[in-house]
């Protein structure tokens, strides 16, 4: 039986959606969290049919959950969704390199014990660096390694001196490289990628198009009266700039409702202030199910997502899937999915004036909004359908296994 070990963020819906493509494959699937599970860092509930490894995990005495010392952190019964949790085995194995993190040592010991056919790191700055450290400990005993680039892993962090050498180490050490932007293929090669480039696919896999269509508002998208704003404001997100653009378009927004999702505290405050000063109704969408979020996209005429760095933003993909007209920053590979001025508008992430101009056009040009939605629906059918993407992913893994695993020349 083929065995694969994923390394990634335990709380990530993107990691869960990608890994779940193998949930019914019959493979032996394992997951090692790239950051330690705690009472604040939980396993995403979408994960299924796999074994999760973490040093702090232990089974409850009655088998009714999985516990950390003093706390229950998984709100489901043991065996539900066929998720098994395995605590690290306390073997007295030590590695000579004192510079490696203890978590890398645990990962190395797990790899040595499991002997997976494939190790895949889902993201670079945590999972990729961790895998690279474990490889330095195991040496020739390391399995075939797929390094997957997420979001800003290379596009942004590759420009930083403190990260560039580590990224180059990952790219030089992996056997295969995957990402969701052709832009990042070129960047990886410039940074010294030695491995084979895998097909460029969304890092969260595909979408259930039938379910998505069921959540779309009937009628043309130009008849919708919702503007949806991504609320990320942090080292990359620029929701505050989006809200300034909303304020500049207040004269057009009388018939509309603006809604902000995933808003941080500062964005919540800014949204209330903009609404108070302009009279534009601005709602804050609380944390909700994926289906409920799709319904919001399906009611939106316009979606705005701004950041100084990203790959293919999943919210951008959800917007074009649901017929919302996308206004996306130029830092997120949107040009690989839409044609600027025809099927969406691509804007700078930190200048509210051109963003406001784009919003004005999207609010006043019904023909543009409706024709873009029709074209983007075809794009979604061709490039986002899970029934097409999942077989590609499985075939990719099967090909990698068939090419043969490098011989293990002994254990570290």
Question: What are residue 66's DSSP bridge partners?
Answer: 59
Decide: 50 and 26 in contact? Cβ < 8 Å: no
The whole-angstrom separation of Cα 356 and Cα 157 is 29
**Residue 59 — pLDDT band, cuts 50, 70, 90?**
very low
Q: Which two tokens stand for residue 239?
A: 């929701």
Question: What are residue 52's DSSP bridge partners?
Answer: 31, 85
2 closest CA partner among 403, 392, 387: 403
The whole-angstrom separation of Cα 359 and Cα 227 is 9
What mean pLDDT, rounded, does the chain reach?
A: 88
Q: Which two tokens stand for residue 317?
A: 């993909």
Domains assigned to the chain? 3-205+387-402 (3.40.50.2000), 209-384 (3.40.50.2000)
Burial class of residue 11 (count of CB atoms within 10 Å of its CB; 0-12, 13-18, 19+)? middle
pLDDT (average), residues 55-62? 44
Q: 51-55, 61-65, 215-219, 375-379: lowest mean pLDDT where?
A: 61-65
Determine the 3-state secondary structure of 236 from DSSP.
coil
The whole-angstrom separation of Cα 195 and Cα 131 is 15
Q: What is the pLDDT of residue 326?
A: 98
How many Cβ atoms are within 10 Å of 399's Cβ, its own excluded? 10
**DSSP per-residue string spanning 257-323:** EEEEES--HHHHHHHHHHHHHH---EEEEPS--HHHHHHHHHH-SEEEE-BSS-SS-HHHHHHHHTT
Q: What is the pLDDT of residue 64?
A: 39
Chain centre distance of CA 288: 17
- Tens-digit pLDDT profile for residues 144-192: 999 999 988 999 998 899 999 999 999 999 999 999 999 999 999 999 9
Question: What are residue 207's DSSP bridge partners?
Answer: 385
pLDDT at position 305 over 50:
yes
Q: What is the pLDDT of residue 54?
A: 76
Burial class of residue 316 (count of CB atoms within 10 Å of its CB; 0-12, 13-18, 19+)? buried
Q: What is the pLDDT of residue 116?
A: 96
Q: Which two tokens stand for residue 265?
A: 């505290």
* CB neighbour list of residue 119: distance below 8 Å, 6 or more residues apart: 4, 5, 7, 111, 131, 142, 143, 144, 145, 146
> In the 8-state DSSP scheme, what is residue 338?
S
Q: What is the pLDDT of residue 141?
A: 81
Tell me what percent of the residues of the chain surpass a pLDDT of 70: 87
**Residue 405 — pLDDT band, cuts 50, 70, 90?**
low
Give the CA radius of gyration of the chain. 23
Determine the 3-state secondary structure of 132 from DSSP.
helix
Work out the angle between the directed axes of helices 352-364 and 239-248 (0-180°, nearest 10): 60
Determine the 3-state secondary structure of 395 from DSSP.
helix
Q: CA dist 179 to 131, 141, 298, 387, 390, Å?
A: 17, 26, 28, 20, 16
Tell me what percent of the residues of the chain surpass a pLDDT of 90: 79
**DSSP per-residue string spanning 76-127:** S-TTGGGEEEEEPP------S-TTS-HHHHHHHHHHHHH--SEEEEESIIII
Q: Give the range with max mean pLDDT: 136-140, 233-237, 391-395.
A: 391-395
**Residue 87 — pLDDT band, cuts 50, 70, 90?**
low
- What number of residues does the chain have? 412
Q: Which residue is it, tokens 């690290």?
A: 88
């Amino acid at each position: 039986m083929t065995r694969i070990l994923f390394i990634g963020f335990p709380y990530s819906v993107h990691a869960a959606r990608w890994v779940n493509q193998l949930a019914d494959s019959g493979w032996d699937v394992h997951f090692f969290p790239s950051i330690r599970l705690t009472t604040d860092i939980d396993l995403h509930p979408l994960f299924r049919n796999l074994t999760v490894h973490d040093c702090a995990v232990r089974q409850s005495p009655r088998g009714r959950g999985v516990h950390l010392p003093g706390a229950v952190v998984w709100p489901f019964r043991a065996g539900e969704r066929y998720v098994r949790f395995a605590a690290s085995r306390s073997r007295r194995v030590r590695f000579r390199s004192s510079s490696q993190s203890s978590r890398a040592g645990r990962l190395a010991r797990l790899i040595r014990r499991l002997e997976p056919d494939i190790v895949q790191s889902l993201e670079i700055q945590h999972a990729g660096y961790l895998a690279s450290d474990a490889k330095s400990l195991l040496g020739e005993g390391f399995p075939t390694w797929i390094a997957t680039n997420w979001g800003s892993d290379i596009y942004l962090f590759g420009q930083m001196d403190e990260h560039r050498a580590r990224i180059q180490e990952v790219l030089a050490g992996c056997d295969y490289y995957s990402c969701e932007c052709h832009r990042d293929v070129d960047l990886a090669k410039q940074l010294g990628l030695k491995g084979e480039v895998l097909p460029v696919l969304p890092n969260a896999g595909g979408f259930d198009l039938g379910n998505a269509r069921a959540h779309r508002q009937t009628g043309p998208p130009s008849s919708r009266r919702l503007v949806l704003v991504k609320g990320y404001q942090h080292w990359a997100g620029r929701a505050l700039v989006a809200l300034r653009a909303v304020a500049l378009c207040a004269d057009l927004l009388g018939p509309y409702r603006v809604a902000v999702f995933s808003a941080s505290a500062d964005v919540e405050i800014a949204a209330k202030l903009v609404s108070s000063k302009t009279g534009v109704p601005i709602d804050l969408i609380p944390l909700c199910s994926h289906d409920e979020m799709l319904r919001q996209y399906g009611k939106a005429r316009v979606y705005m997502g701004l950041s100084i760095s990203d790959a293919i933003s999943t919210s951008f993909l959800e917007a074009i899937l649901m017929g919302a007209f996308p206004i996306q920053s130029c830092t997120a590979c949107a040009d690989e999915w839409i044609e600027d001025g025809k099927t969406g508008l691509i804007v700078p992430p930190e200048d509210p004036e051109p963003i406001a101009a784009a919003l004005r056009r999207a609010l006043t040009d019904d023909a543009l909004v409706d024709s873009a939605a029709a074209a983007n629906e075809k794009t979604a059918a061709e490039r986002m359908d899970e029934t097409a993407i999942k077989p590609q992913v499985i075939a990719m893994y099967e090909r990698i296994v068939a090419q043969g695993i490098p011989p293990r020349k002994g254990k570290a």
